[in-house]
Amino acid sequence: MSGIGLLVKTHAFGDSLLATPAATELVRRGGRWWALCGPSAAAVWERLPGLERVLVAPFPFRGPAGLLRLGLWSLGKRKDLRAVERSVVFAESGFTRRWVRFLTGSVMRSGGSEPLGEWERCVGFDPWAFAGRTYADIAGVDPSQYRPIFPLRAEEESFAAKRLPSGRPWVAVAPGGACNPRDTVPQKRWPPERFAALVDRLFETGFSVVLLGGRGDVGISASVSNRSSCDPLDLTGTTDWGRTAAVISRCRGFLGVDTGTAHLAVAVGVRPVLLFGPTNPDSLYDPRAIVAVGTDAECAPCYSNSVFPGCSRRRGDCMERISVDQVWSALKEELDENSGS
């Protein structure tokens, strides 16, 4: 490729991680590559090896004011982006594809269902298929593996080493999440008192526990900590993505629900034990990379790599049907397998 190639994945953090194996294979083949993303995904692309430049747009936008900000940003960056020769858009959205075409004027490969012009080749996007494989098809590559790429930095590893001293082995627990720029799905969460019960069992079995999550999860983690008879280390809301990844990398196990933090665990090589109700694990994770604990609700999963349609049964109790004993059995088995690591 003689000109610049542009990788486009605007949001969210976990989805962007799923696109990194395909992106890495493209970059490995040579040429100059830029990335275009939104703020929620910037931490992924800013550390992907081989990228020449990362442009962070105010996307996705909310309301007329957000659209105005995006328009002004686009007009300011359009001259630079006209250097792009081809674009790879890891999305189905017609708006996103038209926006990238306006910015670059380049030929494009995308996840769209129908081409918007002769300049576009559409691969299609099946929300029930494994997203990592779909992103590879969009890019036209065949990665040797689908583990997300998220290199750690020395400062982050030093931070984790200081906060998680050696001695008793550590397990990371992320009781919150279920919120990204596209939608918020509290139905993906599990009751705090059940997380607390698992924290107590971990302590009784000889493990130390660190609670992780974003700023919006502070209250949930506090509830877990208050309900536990132990004293877990609570780092919720105090670490960025890089430090969170480094902390997880020092743990023997990870427990949580379907969140960006769970994808981060996969990226650093810790196989997470994840609870699934409304979402479909097969569309969001390589099945070899996680331990999935599912609900027995007949209506689950009700959606996959798409916007949550809302619970058709109003109550949305699919996660509550997952018992503490069910999760403990899966978690203990995974920790026993990792006891020699």
Contact 181, 12 (CB under 8 A): yes
Contact 272, 295 (CB under 8 A): no
* Whether 240 and 119 share a structural domain: no
145 occurs within a structural domain: no
Better pLDDT: 168 or 264:
264
Buried b / exposed e over 39-64, threshold 16 CB at 10 Å, is ebbbbbbebbeebeebbbbbbbbeee
* Whether 279 and 248 share a structural domain: yes
* Whether 174 and 301 share a structural domain: yes
Would the pLDDT of 341 be above 60? no
144 occurs within a structural domain: no
218 pLDDT band (50/70/90 cuts)?
very high
**Cis omega (within 30 of 0) on the bond before 287?**
no
* Whether 193 and 322 share a structural domain: yes
Number of domains in the chain: 2
- Tens of pLDDT, residue by residue over 117-155, are 999 999 999 999 999 999 999 999 999 999 999 999 999
Answer positive or negative: Cα dihedral of 174, 331, 249, 26: negative
If we measure between CA atoms, which residue out of 242, 186, 181, 135 comes closest to residue 11?
A: 181
- Tens of pLDDT, residue by residue over 37-82, are 999 999 999 999 999 999 999 998 989 999 999 999 999 999 999 9
Task: Compute the mean pLDDT over every residue in the chain, rounded to the nearest whole number.
Answer: 94
| Domain end among 139, 173, 192 | 139
Instruction: Give the pLDDT confidence score for residue 20 in this predicted structure.
Output: 98
303 pLDDT band (50/70/90 cuts)?
confident
Domain extent, residue 47, equals 4-139
Instruction: Give the pLDDT confidence score for residue 187 in this predicted structure.
Output: 85
- Tens of pLDDT, residue by residue over 260-300, are 999 999 999 999 999 999 999 999 999 999 999 999 988 89
In the 3-class helix/strand/coil scheme, how is the chain assigned residue by residue?
CCCEEEEECCCCHHHHHHHHHHHHHHHHCCCEEEEEECHHHHHHHCCCCCCCEEEECCCCCCHHHHHHHHHHHHHHHHHHHCCEEEEEECCCCHHHHHHHHHHHCCEEEECCCCCCCCCEEECCCCCCCCHHHHHHHHHCCCCCCCCCCCCCCHHHHHHHHHHCCCCCCEEEEECCCCECCCCECHHHCCCHHHHHHHHHHHHHCCCEEEECCCHHHHHHHHHHHHHCCCCCEECCCCCCHHHHHHHHHCCCEEEEECCHHHHHHHHCCCCCEEEECCECHHHHCCHHHCEEEECCCCCCCCECCCCCCCCCCCCCCCHHHCCHHHHHHHHHHHHHHCCCC
Please identify which residue in the block is written with the tokens 């809301």. 237
* Whether 185 and 233 share a structural domain: yes
CATH classification at residue 24: 3.40.50.2000
If we measure between CA atoms, which residue out of 126, 132, 90 comes closest to residue 108?
A: 90
* Whether 217 and 271 share a structural domain: yes
If we measure between CA atoms, which residue out of 201, 250, 190, 191 comes closest to residue 230?
A: 201
pLDDT, mean of residues 226-246: 96
Instruction: Give the pLDDT confidence score for residue 2 in this predicted structure.
Output: 58
* Whether 46 and 192 share a structural domain: no
Instruction: Give the pLDDT confidence score for residue 177 in this predicted structure.
Output: 83
Instruction: Give the pLDDT confidence score for residue 315 in this predicted structure.
Output: 67
**Which residues on neighbouring strands pair with residue 208, listed in sequence order?**
170
* Whether 163 and 268 share a structural domain: yes
| Domain end among 107, 139, 171 | 139
221 pLDDT band (50/70/90 cuts)?
very high
* Whether 135 and 244 share a structural domain: no
47 occurs within a structural domain: yes
208 occurs within a structural domain: yes
* Whether 112 and 166 share a structural domain: no
Instruction: Give the pLDDT confidence score for residue 1 in this predicted structure.
Output: 47
Q: The pTM is what?
A: 0.94
146 occurs within a structural domain: no
- Considering the chain, what percentage of its residues have pLDDT values greater than 90? 84
| Domain end among 139, 166, 195 | 139
Better pLDDT: 160 or 303:
160
Instruction: Give the pLDDT confidence score for residue 183 in this predicted structure.
Output: 74
Would the pLDDT of 181 be above 70? no
* Whether 70 and 169 share a structural domain: no
Instruction: Give the pLDDT confidence score for residue 311 in this predicted structure.
Output: 85
